[in-house]
Amino acid sequence: MRFPGRYQLVQSLKAAAAAALAWALTGWWLAAPMALMAPWAAVALVQGTVYRSLRSAVELLAMMASGTLLAAGAAAVTGDTMSAMLIALPLTVLLGNWAPVGEQGLYAPTTALFVLAYGSYSLPAVGHRLLETAVGAVVGIAVNAIVLPPVHSLHVKTLACALPRDCARLLRELSEGVVKEYDEEQAGRWHRAAGELPGALSELRAARGWASESFRFNPGHRMRRSTPSPSDTWDVLWAQVGNRLLTLTLTLWETASERRALPRPPGRSLEDLSLVLAAAGKVCAADQTLMEQGPDDECLERRAGHLDEARRALADAMGHLHGPGTDTRASLGSLLACCQALLDDLMPGADGSALPAGRARTGRT
């Protein structure tokens, strides 16, 4: 279990402050001794983005108003709390499930319960509950929009840097492992690690959606400093690299499995393959540095050198395809074809990194 980060801590404190402010306003301005609806709405509307707070406010107000009116109407008709509950709860639960309001649908039946618990169903009392809800909604939106309004683009860059980092780590493990007598279990771990890369890409795409949404109706994002942010081309590139690693590790697993007929390549060819993988891992590590720190001539030079080193090692490894032992050519050829495609994917754009030139854009953090 991870400790909460800065974002979770800030949003939690904002929600608590919004609830306290809403309670104080309704208690002082409306003189409500149990102004529960206001802080409840305020907490619910300190959302992950300002846009989401505004959108959720409409849905929440509709559900809470419906729950209030249905509960008050049922109580007025029956004159009994239990009977009113038996009438109002099925209707409000059905409304919450049927209406296209997502998680906000839960507020219809829970509001009905709170209204019935108040025990006051007169028209002024119902109006009071609705006014408390509106005050809480305004306070929640205002606190979320004014006090450190959430912006998620920094998370995008963090996840974007994680892609080359994870690829570099896996390539290093492969480089160190193929020269040893790797077994089926170890090769299976490599393949599972490669299979986790698409999940990281999915997280990045989800973070992009949050980042884009967090700029909508956000009054504070223009005051944040601008930093380079990768375009969608970055995702496509590392999706391709991830697919190469998935194929590569699958082939290694098949060569290590006793249930497969694919033979293990000879030791000398695996030594050259190890050099290819090690150099490719250094290229990925350089891309991570470039994404974190921006263009740097020295880092670009090192990247180009590592890529040249990988190509030379690949050429040496391909020489083993013409040697004796035709039964191992299929497995070695498959591994080298994956490496060739991997290095082609890592060919630099005009800026020297794997990100094609002219496709980067500026984001805010």
State the DSSP string of 182-249: --HHHHHHHHHHHHTHHHHHHHHHHHHHHHHHHTTT-TTGGGSPEEEE--HHHHHHHHHHHHHHHHHH
pLDDT band at 362 (very low <50, low <70, confident <90, very high): very low
- Tell me the average pLDDT of the chain: 87
Q: What is the pTM of this model?
A: 0.74
In the chain the beta strands, taken as DSSP E runs, fall at: 226-229, 361-364
Residue 288 has pLDDT above 60, yes or no: yes
pLDDT band at 323 (very low <50, low <70, confident <90, very high): low
Residue pair 145/221 in contact by the 8 Å Cβ criterion:
no
Select the more confidently predicted residue: 355 or 171: 171
Select the more confidently predicted residue: 180 or 170: 170
**Range with the lowest mean pLDDT among 1-15, 47-61, 283-297?**
1-15
Give the whole-angstrom CA distance, residue 312 versus residue 236: 26
Average pLDDT of the segment spanning 85-114: 92
pLDDT of 364? 37
The domains found in the chain, sorted by start residue, are 6-146 (no CATH), 153-364 (1.20.58.220)
If one counts every other C-beta atom within 10 angstroms of the C-beta of residue 302, the result is: 16
* HSE toward the beta carbon, residue 87, CA cutoff 13 A: 17
Residue 137 amino acid letter: A
The contacts of residue 341 (CB under 8 Å, 6+ apart) are 244
Q: What's the token pair of residue 188?
A: 């299976």
Q: What percent of the chain has pLDDT over 70?
A: 90
pLDDT of 101? 85
**Range with the lowest mean pLDDT among 78-82, 100-104, 205-209, 229-233?**
229-233
pLDDT of 360? 38
pLDDT of 359? 38
pLDDT of 124? 85
